[in-house]
Amino acid sequence: MKRRKPDLAALPGAAAGEIDDRLTLATPLRRLLNKVFPDHWSFMLGEIALYSFIVLLLTGTFLALFFDPSMEEVPYKGSFAPLRGISMSKAYESSLGISFDVRGGLFIRQMHHWAALLFMAAIVVHMLRVFFTGAFRKPRELNWIVGVLLFWMGFTEGFAGYSLPDDALSGTGLRIASAIMLSIPIVGTWVTTSLFGGEFPGTVILDRLYILHVLLVPGVILALITVHLGLLFKQMHTQWPGPGRNNRNVVGVRMFPGFALKTSGFFMAVFAIIALLGGLFQINPIWLFGPYKAAVVSAASQPDWYVMFLDGSTRLMPNWELRFHLFGHSYMIPALFWPTVVLPGILTVLPLFYPFIEARRLKDYRHHHLLQRPRDVPARTALGAMAVGFYLVLLASGGNDVIADKFHISLNAMTWAGRIGVLLVPPIAYYVTHRICLGLQQHDREVLSHGIETGIIKRSPDGRFYEVHQPLGRVDEHGHVDLEYAHWTVPKKMNRVGALIPTVRGFFFPLEAPPNGGDRPEAPVSPAPGREEIGSGRS
Amino acid sequence: MSTHGTGTGDFDVDDRTLQRFDLVREGARRDGVEILHYVPHFPVAGTRLERRAERTIAGLFLLTGLAATAFVVAYIWWPFTYKPGANINKFYTPVLGLTLGLTLLFVAVAVFAWGKKLLPEEISVQQRHGGASPDDERKLTGATMLNMVDELGIKRRPLLRRAALLGLAPVGVVTIAPLVGGLIKDPHHPDIFTTTGWRKGVRLVREDMTPVRPEEVSTGGQITVFPGIPNGTSNEYADSPTLLIHLRPDDAEKMRGNLRHIARNAGATWGDFVAYSKICTHAGCPASLYEQQTNRLLCPCHQSQFDILDNAFPIFGPATRRLPMLAITVDDGGYLICNSDEGFGVPIGPGFWERP
Amino acid sequence: MSAAPPDEPTGRRPRRRSLLGRLAGPRAPRSRLRRRISSAVRMVAALALVGGIYAAFTPTVSAQDTPALNAAAQAGKGLFDQTCISCHGQNAQGVPNRGPSLIGVGSASVEFQVTTGRMPAAQQGPQIERKPPQFSADQARQIGAYIQALGGGPQLPEGEDLHSNGDIAAGGALFRVNCTSCHAFGGGGGALSSGKYAPSLEVASDREIYAAMLTGPQNMPVFGDSELTPQEKEDIIAYIQNQKHDQDPGGWGLGRLGPVPEGLVVFLVGIVFLALVSLWIAGKS
């Protein structure tokens, strides 16, 4: 048999042929390659969460090779001198081992923790984007629900991870968690003892949290992410309204190579910032906290930031304890129950149903693929601002002892400020945001009918001064422009209509000007008339 | 497979006169994608600007390699074992972070620059095909599904339906039973909420198990004590840590005057000494920030404040109940001991539904 | 004993202090140690001399109300009568609503309050704060000697270095059970009720920490020598000083304040950076 020299150049083609013979991939593959993604910076926020999660899986696998969740007490013999000889659980001992005796272990541990914080931060920021732009509306309610569930799953995962090292902060957090479970009416004590295998802290809780943390919850998160992306892929991304964009199309770049290049670069950027944070900013220095002992606590004991709002709500809660008598026995609902069980319950259920509540209120059951500018939906935007205001007060209260200490404010005053603020800030935020939205709308319409303020002041022959406005369309005899507000971005500066060159080139704008000059299809209005037409001011 | 888009019907892919991009455009059209705007950044190849862009990106990749090498070198050879003080070992993690971060940052910037500067400018429009399925499709699928039900005959055979339900319901329980059965623990038998390590005669000991004499606690001082039983200082008795406070004489006088408000606390103090459970009645943190002049005890977790002189009444914050007081006295050896058969006599720490 | 052994922590501290000292006022911190040693030697000599002469010439003084004062205490009385007497009264008996009696507080308390600048107090507030001291360490000791002579009380051991003999690990365990609840794991201090606070230990010297434990200034509980033995106190000080001079192995320590600054960083650095990146690479409007 004659041996033929393989033709390397033809190899990929031949291989592709062989694969297609078996799998009939040509059409679906091309469809994938050609899928169009709209382009906007705010669409990248969810990706931060996705890529943080990948980093979490990678670093978490590394940590799992060295971590032992056992609560058995052992004396520390590792290299960190200030703890040597101290009795501690194996979990804490192995966490110290990762930090001081595994090469690069501290770096990976810190990356893991920062990635977790970033994961949750990105989820929250992404949810805000989706909420304020109305991207959750029909047909995307299900994806919104999946997103809310992802937040709570991430919350659970994060809390379990925070508890695992068994340092003094972990243990304090767990103790509060057990108190929260105890506060649940009727079943509280049973749930708590069942989970802890008896009295707090027992000997099994870390093993249980460990399996939750490394298998069950990540599995659920992974499944939810798959559903989240699958739905996104199936339903296609929303887009901002603009010229040529409507409810039936997507305007953007094809997935390959444009979008893929961008998003893989972004993955690298997310990975990079996590690496930089992990190396340059110390996080959770467990060796300062020491092993968990039931009698030990520190000033400024806080959970990670995404749990902190619940700590805040707990601090602000007045000491209201319900007591009542049933069948000759006295029962109670502790004050702890309301801010830590009822509040998160409301915060889960309300967002889950929000898309349906809004649709019902507005009687709007159509499909929406175009986003809304927040200013165009003042009621929703104001509601969102109200929620954010409420959340921020709780978040700040979660750290109110640190704020009190660093800014020399009375701790009791901080608590009272939070109690009053949590009632006062939301309505104020609602009102102010509502007014701002209306004002911005008004200004958009004004610019459309009168033109852009140029900053050029003219003096007329009769001595009046007026500012020259650049109209955005044809001017009628009253000096007005008949442009309808189309929910698009309205240019408000001269350089937005191509009249001025951006001062800094290259960073926010491509270095190379597009070859065919200014008539880009994205320009929201027809190109500006020549500069000699400047002159029609307010009549 | 039906095509999504609006490819031109008489398009001949084998037409020799077509450019490759014509094929791309046709492929995109068949997928419902119209490439509206497609302009290369550098229509003329090899201009000075293009070469500069290329060089920039190439440079970034080279920097990536450098940083990555630096990371590996640092990872292997930089000393990292713990040494107290400020020394080069303490820079191990920062150096790793910096080198790895820069590596990835260079990759990111190179990829971005590639996409921004070398890829053609493109605007494509894809038609959406979301929304409900066509009416006839819905009807056909609906009929298929209803037929499925008919085929099984569940509607016609009520006996079978009920029997299946009855038979399968326990199977569902089977999946939950081991989980619940394995985990469940009765909180009241033994009663874990009122029992602590404290019994009558149990000595108050420090963390190192040394017993405490009254004269060892200075006036205005406090000390965390544990029950002097085996493992009494360990987390096995997480509800037993107690704060022993030696009040100043005039403060102690005030405190003793207040003791009668709480029946359980009468006679529970010894001299100017008072002992409260350290476990906060709010969420179970150790309430241990004792302010010796104001005689307040602050819990650092949620800032509940207790008045030491008034049976640890919660005067601020979310706590609702007083800290339980431990009855103490001094034994023949001169050591402080617990003076109550049932320890604190009430459940320790946070509240719960059936708490009396 | 009085000379600092040339180990690392003490070698570093004077430099740190010098910056503070410069801020505080005209003091020459570099030579302070040497000056203090020599002044101590000189004082002992002077003491012996003056004491001898004093005893020889005025044998009947001790029969009066005020006990016999040695030279240091005599100098301290001078300082006391100039500055402290308005609040703490004649013979440190206290003035109602202005200042407490100082009988029995001991020289340790005086030295702590005066060298940290808390006394003389500037104004009444929820808490009297640390500020640049008005008296030198020697003057503080003289006042201390006076108060000690008046009513006795806890005294500090000799020497500047009260940490070298401590066991860091044992000190850490004691620190966590006794100190962290107010001063926090990182020693950065924390808030107490109604505007009071536990101060940061960042600038505290060995003697100051020792004195604070021994005397329980303001709202701090007292940790007398039977609660924490002198050895245990040195253990704790060793742990604190070691922690202060121990560079954070994980990068910038963020003030060792725990999750609050960490949460700020993840938004201000992480999210802001990535938002800028997305602004750079993706469309704007």
- Report the pLDDT value the prediction gives residue C90, as an integer from 0 to 100: 80
pLDDT above 60 for C2: no
Averaged pLDDT score across all residues of chain A: 87
- Report the pLDDT value the prediction gives residue C127, as an integer from 0 to 100: 79
Distance of CA C242 to the CA centre of its chain: 17
- Report the pLDDT value the prediction gives residue C46, as an integer from 0 to 100: 59
Tell if the CB–CB gap between B217 and C178 is shorter than 8 Å: no
- Report the pLDDT value the prediction gives residue C17, as an integer from 0 to 100: 41
For residue C8, give both structure tokens. Answer: 């690392």
Q: Chain B window 313-342: which residues touch C at a Cβ cutoff of 8 Å?
A: 316
pLDDT digits (tens, 9 = 90+) for A300-334: 888 999 999 999 999 999 988 888 888 888 899 99
Spatial CA neighbour of A485 closest among A419, A534, A440: A440
φ, ψ (nearest 5 deg) of residue A99: -75, -35
- Report the pLDDT value the prediction gives residue C205, as an integer from 0 to 100: 86
- Report the pLDDT value the prediction gives residue B101, as an integer from 0 to 100: 96
What is the per-residue DSSP string for A200-217? SSTTTHHHHHHHIIIIIH
Spatial CA neighbour of B206 closest among B293, B335, B330: B335
pLDDT digits (tens, 9 = 90+) for C127-163: 788 888 888 888 888 888 888 888 777 888 888 888 8
pLDDT above 60 for C59: no
Residues of B in contact with A315 (CB under 8 A): 302-303, 317-318
Give the H or E element holding residue A238. Answer: none
pLDDT digits (tens, 9 = 90+) for C191-204: 888 888 888 888 88
- Report the pLDDT value the prediction gives residue A1, as an integer from 0 to 100: 53
| Residue whose tokens read 């708590």 | A192
pLDDT above 70 for A539: no
A462: closest CA of chain C, how far (Å): 42
Pick the residue with more confidence: A130 or B345? A130
The closest CB to that of B43, out of A190, A200, A515, belongs to A515
- Of the residues B78, B235, B293, the best mutation for testing chain C's interface (the one with the most C CB atoms within 10 Å of its CB) is B293
- Of the residues A126, A288, A297, A509, the best mutation for testing chain C's interface (the one with the most C CB atoms within 10 Å of its CB) is A288
User: Which of A206-215, A256-265, A529-538, C247-256: highest mean pLDDT?
Assistant: A206-215
- Report the pLDDT value the prediction gives residue A483, as an integer from 0 to 100: 79
Mean pLDDT of C222-229: 86
Q: Angle at CA A524, nearest 5°, toward A520 and A529?
A: 80
Residues 6+ apart with CB under 8 A from C255: C186, C188, C261
Beta-strand runs (E) in A51-117 = 73-75, 87-89
pLDDT digits (tens, 9 = 90+) for A340-372: 999 999 999 999 999 999 999 999 999 999 999
Q: Angle at CA A463, nearest 5°, toward A459 and A466?
A: 40
- Report the pLDDT value the prediction gives residue C54, as an integer from 0 to 100: 52
- Report the pLDDT value the prediction gives residue C72, as an integer from 0 to 100: 80
pLDDT above 90 for B355: no
Averaged pLDDT score across all residues of chain C: 77
B120: closest CA of chain C, how far (Å): 15
pLDDT digits (tens, 9 = 90+) for B266-288: 888 888 999 999 999 999 999 88
Which CA distances in Å does C189 have to A145, A298, A401, C205, C235?
43, 10, 11, 15, 19
pLDDT above 60 for B301: yes
| Residue whose tokens read 């029962």 | A331
Residues of C in contact with B116 (CB under 8 A): 281
B89: closest CA of chain A, how far (Å): 11
Q: What does pTM read for this prediction?
A: 0.88
The closest CB to that of A106, out of B93, B103, B355, belongs to B93
Tell if the CB–CB gap between A284 and C262 is shorter than 8 Å: yes
Residues of A in contact with C239 (CB under 8 A): 82
pLDDT above 60 for A507: no
- Report the pLDDT value the prediction gives residue C44, as an integer from 0 to 100: 61
Q: pLDDT band at residue A492, thresholds of 50, 70 and 90?
A: confident
- Report the pLDDT value the prediction gives residue A192, as an integer from 0 to 100: 92
User: Which of A184-188, A509-513, B342-346, C133-137: highest mean pLDDT?
Assistant: A184-188
Averaged pLDDT score across all residues of chain B: 88
Phi-psi domain of B147 (left: phi exceeds 0; alpha: psi -120 through 50; beta: other): alpha
Residue A255 · residue A30 · CB < 8 Å? no
pLDDT digits (tens, 9 = 90+) for A403-462: 998 898 999 999 999 999 999 999 999 999 999 999 999 998 888 888 888 888 888 889
Residues of C in contact with B293 (CB under 8 A): 218-219
φ, ψ (nearest 5 deg) of residue C103: -70, 120
Residue A185 · residue A333 · CB < 8 Å? yes
- Report the pLDDT value the prediction gives residue A427, as an integer from 0 to 100: 96
- Report the pLDDT value the prediction gives residue A227, as an integer from 0 to 100: 96
- For residue B43, say if its preceding peptide bond is cis, omega within 30 degrees of 0: no
Mean pLDDT of C15-33: 46
Q: How many interchain CB pairs under 8 A, B with C?
A: 90
- Whether the CB of B79 is below 8 Å from some CB of chain C: the reply is no
Which CA distances in Å does A104 have to A15, A188, A287, B65, C185?
41, 42, 16, 20, 25
- Report the pLDDT value the prediction gives residue B226, as an integer from 0 to 100: 93
- Report the pLDDT value the prediction gives residue C23, as an integer from 0 to 100: 44
- Report the pLDDT value the prediction gives residue A59, as an integer from 0 to 100: 96
Cβ atoms within 10 Å of B228's Cβ, excluding its own: 23
Phi-psi domain of A236 (left: phi exceeds 0; alpha: psi -120 through 50; beta: other): left
Written as one letter, the residue type at B281 is T
Q: pLDDT band at residue B155, thresholds of 50, 70 and 90?
A: confident
User: Which of A403-417, A451-465, C17-31, C97-111: highest mean pLDDT?
Assistant: A403-417
For residue C101, give both structure tokens. Answer: 């009696």
In this structure, the strands spanning B121-127 and A249-254 are antiparallel
C268: closest CA of chain A, how far (Å): 11
Q: Is the dihedral of CA A465, A468, A469, A473 positive or negative?
A: positive
pLDDT above 90 for A60: yes
For residue A168, give both structure tokens. Answer: 């003094």
Distance of CA A230 to the CA centre of its chain: 19
Lowest mean pLDDT among A65-79, B27-41, C43-57, C186-200: C43-57
- Report the pLDDT value the prediction gives residue A274, as an integer from 0 to 100: 96
State how far the Cα of B35 lies from the Cα of B125, in Å rounded to an integer. 6
b/e for A446-471, b at 16 or more Cβ within 10 A? ebbbbbbbbeeeeeeeeeeeeebbbb
B290: closest CA of chain C, how far (Å): 7
Residue A348 · residue A225 · CB < 8 Å? no
Written as one letter, the residue type at A505 is R
pLDDT digits (tens, 9 = 90+) for B36-64: 888 888 878 888 888 999 999 999 999 99
| Residue whose tokens read 């404010």 | A409
Q: pLDDT band at residue C105, thresholds of 50, 70 and 90?
A: confident
Q: Angle at CA B92, nearest 5°, toward B86 and B95?
A: 115
- Report the pLDDT value the prediction gives residue B8, as an integer from 0 to 100: 59
Give the H or E element holding residue A323. Answer: strand A322-326
Residues 6+ apart with CB under 8 A from B105: A268, A269, A272, A276
Written as one letter, the residue type at B28 is A
pLDDT above 80 for C125: no
pLDDT above 80 for C7: no
Cβ atoms within 10 Å of A414's Cβ, excluding its own: 25
Q: pLDDT band at residue C93, thresholds of 50, 70 and 90?
A: confident
Strands of the sheet with B204-205, listed across from one edge = B204-205, B221-227, B242-246, B273-277, B325-326
pLDDT above 90 for A208: yes
Residue A366 · residue B130 · CB < 8 Å? no
3-state SS track over C15-40: HHHHHHHHHHCCCCHHHHHHHHHHHH
For residue B132, give both structure tokens. Answer: 């409900």
- Whether the CB of C173 is below 8 Å from some CB of chain A: the reply is yes
State how far the Cα of A128 lies from the Cα of A148, in Å rounded to an integer. 11
Q: Which chains touch C (3 or more CB pairs under 8 A)?
A: A, B
Residue A377 · residue A241 · CB < 8 Å? no
Q: Is the dihedral of CA B264, B270, B274, B277 positive or negative?
A: negative
State how far the Cα of A304 lies from the Cα of A154, in Å rounded to an integer. 12
State how far the Cα of C207 lies from the Cα of C237, in Å rounded to an integer. 9
- Report the pLDDT value the prediction gives residue A330, as an integer from 0 to 100: 87
- Report the pLDDT value the prediction gives residue B307, as an integer from 0 to 100: 92
End-to-end CA distance of chain A: 93
Tell if the CB–CB gap between A273 and C248 is shorter than 8 Å: no
Tell if the CB–CB gap between C193 and B305 is shorter than 8 Å: yes
What is the per-residue DSSP string for C166-206? S-HHHHHHHHHHHTHHHH-TTS--EE-GGG-EEPPSTT--H
- Report the pLDDT value the prediction gives residue C26, as an integer from 0 to 100: 45
